[in-house]
Structure 1
Amino acid sequence: MQETGNNQSQTYNLSIRLHADGFSFYSYNPATTEPVAIEDYIYHEEESVAETLKKAIGQSAIVQKRNNSVVYGLVTGLSMQVPLECFRKEEAHALYRLTYAQEKTGKTYYNILPHLEIAQIFTVDLEVERILSQYFPSIRFYHSHTMILEKLWLLSQQDKRQLYAYFDEKEVFVFGYREQRLCYANAFPADMADNAVYFILSVWKDLKMDVRQEECILLGNGNIKNDTARILTRYLQNVRNTDTADIYRRSTLARNQQLPFDLLALWVHVI
């Protein structure tokens, strides 16, 4: 399994982001006048996931134009973190099933996060994984949380505690670091700002963070994030509502609001 943090000199031009209601194809070629291409696909009740995926691969201009055998799959949804000292790859599937017993069984993958000394365990839908592996035998899967945890670790301040909240697909992923180590990470449902505020403040209290001195940083997109930031200012003195351009100030790609934060992190730090 691949580690994060290993930049490659090659330019890659196909990434597939899997999300709750569909998937998206992305390509990046800095040599062209329009370097980014995006194709979005939504699952429909009258068509199986497999049929939608096969049809999209057959029709996609991005897939047809790719010139590199390596494909990157970016997975959203549930994941879990395990300290490397406790991680055994042969136990990854059983550990994930024990943690998420009610979830649909998928193909288990893991990413190694060397800076944080943890393994990120997640699953890919069995049918989706089978089809993608059939069409793209060298596909490499990464989890969205892997990209986020690694990037924000690089930016975290040692002298000031910060709690992060990443918004995506009606979910908020809350995490924080202490002494350059991951001290908390968990995802919560966030279909409303009030719910997100409740979970963020609960974590803040559990971590015994200072409402006056320490900082809450919001990432991602959407109205729920903005509403959450506004409400949080009633309870916390230091709330920072950021966007991708605030984090990747040197990247022109960060100004493209169609690129999710996790995908940009994948392009910058892995590909």
Structure 2
Amino acid sequence: MNSTGLDHQRNDLSVSIVVYHPDERLLASTLASLQAACEALADGSARPVGLTIVDNGGAPAMDTFFAPLRAAGIQCNVISGQGNVGYGGGHNLAIAAAQSRYHLVLNPDVELQRDSLVRALAFLEQSQETGLLAPWIGGVDGHQQYLCRRFPTVLDLFVRGFLPSSLRKPFARRLAHYEMRDQLDASNVVWDPPIISGCFMLFRTDVLAQLGGFDDRYFLYFEDYDLSLRAHDVARVAYVPQVRILHHGGGASRKGMQHVKLFVTSACRFFNRFGWKWL
């Protein structure tokens, strides 16, 4: 395993992004939005930021991507050579080296609103009991993605993950309940949603260290469900819609049979740990 450009200076914010044969266009958009959000953060006060890209395979040469970030004062690092250790395992490599007050787990298909980090860190500094923050998440269609969740049943996961939209109508009420549509809106903070999305998880780093990071026995899928549920044991979790991001993600069933197998394997591991709910 190799690390390049590593700087162990204590940062106010550390960010980890795990990539595996990434869409370079989306990755460039993610990093450009991160740069803009960090520049907005620096407008108010000096906040050192460190970014770690964990290359699980197929990453492009990062120097071109890093040049504008470094010019903006962001410390940049790549961890590579470990092979594909999975989503949670990859983030754990960066989390283990984090020396920061806050750590952001970020997907390479997310764009941050320019004021997102300003608003997020301001909330955490005003709410010391909050150890994990979730944002308002929008899709490319402009509509809200309801990615905070109640504890799932097997039926919820099957309907949402694998049924085409034309066949979901009889399940609309139960899916709305699972997706917390009765609570999540564009203006009100929601305290302690059971599960939040791994596409953007902003932690106090000491809370994340106390939790031991992700359970890397999940290779892909449900590692964020697992970590969210464990986070409630040590801190408050807050959905803060004033913090906004755009998410380009898609479901497992649309990514091929290998992703379906990974989804089912991780779902079984999740239910074995936290208890099975079928209907």
More helix per residue: 2
Does the alignment reach a TM-score above 0.5? no
Structure of greater relative contact order (alpha carbons < 8 Å, 6+ residues apart): 2
More strand per residue: 1
TM-score, normalised by the number of residues in structure 1: 0.27
TM-score, normalised by the number of residues in structure 2: 0.26
